[in-house]
Amino acid sequence: MKSKSLLWPFAAILLTLLSACGTTTEAPSAAVVPSTPADGSEPVVDTDPDGYVLGRGDVIGIQVFDEPDLTLNATVSSSGNINYSYLGDVQVGGKTPLELERHISGLLENGFLVNPSVNVSVIEFRPFFIGGEVRSPGSYPYQPGLTMDKAIALAGGLTDRASTRRMFLVKSGGDASDPDKVNLGSTVAPGDTISIREGFF
């Protein structure tokens, strides 16, 4: 009887420790849950076509359900407009595809259609520009996820005189006299201008 009574305090201590371990293993998982969606949401935003801001040189497709006469492909002009059937010039530059869908829907509802279903997609992104010490300088169509090394590959690679330490980029609409210094992993956006300079040998 005496030996059994001694076991009860040890059993109580063991149960307390096990319950404490159970609470500590749950705490880290609770801390990880909020960070996982936050980390996972970033690529969704980057690759979401509705987050892309339209500009000069983009080729877009506009589809209106059950209205083939209102379905067309158009290139955004230097003024940021397109010419659209029945509506004339429509401002496109500065809007995302989703914003443009809503804008065109509103215009069509004003005396043309009842509750139009509009879809806008980017068929071809406006080009980026690359010059300097690359084998084929010029403008190239932007591709989602474009980085400096991919842009250089599209331009035929670097010349023998090129320096990977003297690569510069001017953002679309930015000041050409104040370029950003970049590296091979830097992101390139539509309309950006890249300059690869000669190295010092």
Determine if residue 99 is left, alpha or beta; phi over 0 gives left, psi from -120 to 50 gives alpha, anything else beta.
alpha
> Is the domain covering 127-198 a CATH 3.10.560.10 domain?
yes
pLDDT score for 38: 37
List pLDDT tens digits, range 75-117.
999 999 999 988 999 999 999 999 999 999 999 998 889 999 9
| Mean pLDDT of the region 158-182 | 92
Select the more confidently predicted residue: 42 or 123.
123
pLDDT over threshold 90, residue 25: no
Give me the pLDDT at residue 33, please: 28
In this prediction, residue 94 carries a pLDDT of 92
Average pLDDT score, the chain: 80
Close Cβ partners of 199 (under 8 Å, ≥ 6 residues apart): 161, 162, 163, 165, 166
Topology given in CATH for the domain delimited by 51-124: wza like fold (3.30.1950)
Is residue 121 within 8 A of residue 49, CB to CB? The reply is yes
How do the domains of the chain map onto residue ranges? 2-47, 51-124, 127-198
- The confidence score (pLDDT) of residue 28 equals 31
Look at residue 148 and tell me whether its pLDDT is greater than 50: yes
